[in-house]
Amino acid sequence: MNISHIEHLGIAVNSIEEHRPFYEQVLGWECYNIEVVEDQKVKTAFFKVGNSNTKIELLEPTSPDSTIAKFIEKKGEGIHHIAYCVPDTQEALDKAKELGVQLIDEKARKGAEGLLIGFMHPKSTGKVLTEVCSNPDKK
């Protein structure tokens, strides 16, 4: 699959503003991007982890019927998923499917920060919701 690094860890929260001070004041990371992804019914906030390419993504539901709202209702706030950076999201999804991995997304789709994303089902990934993502501008 040619993973270059952990792109981000997604953390489900009820309120970005409630949790933001921890990441900024305690950990010393700047929130460099907040955006709403309408089709996913989620508001995201990103923090770079030190000098690495890895980020923390806070995920706040914007609707009670969003995936993140349902996750929080069932499991509470906390780690939602891990995302790996790959050269080509669709290629990575196709390879995973070929190897018998159950996919949530058969086709790559647009995610936050303009990335192409796709999720693999936790039933096939050791109970960890796994995302692959790529920057379509870097192909």
Tens of pLDDT along 65-95?
999 999 999 999 999 999 999 999 999 999 9
Under DSSP, the state recorded for 69 is H
On whether the CB atoms of residues 45 and 57 are closer than 8 A, the answer is yes
User: β-strand 78-85 against 130-134: which pairing, if any?
Assistant: parallel
Beta pairing partners, 20: none
Strand order in the sheet with 42-48: 31-37, 42-48, 55-61, 5-12, 78-85, 130-134, 116-120, 109-110
Q: Does the pLDDT of residue 136 top 90, yes or no?
A: no
- Give the span between the Cα atoms of 6 and 67, in whole angstroms: 22
Handedness of CA 112, 117, 123, 127 (dihedral sign): negative
Q: Does the pLDDT of residue 139 top 80, yes or no?
A: no
On whether the CB atoms of residues 133 and 115 are closer than 8 A, the answer is yes
Beta pairing partners, 116: 110, 134
On whether the CB atoms of residues 93 and 116 are closer than 8 A, the answer is no
Q: What is the pLDDT of residue 137?
A: 84
Model confidence pTM above 0.75: yes
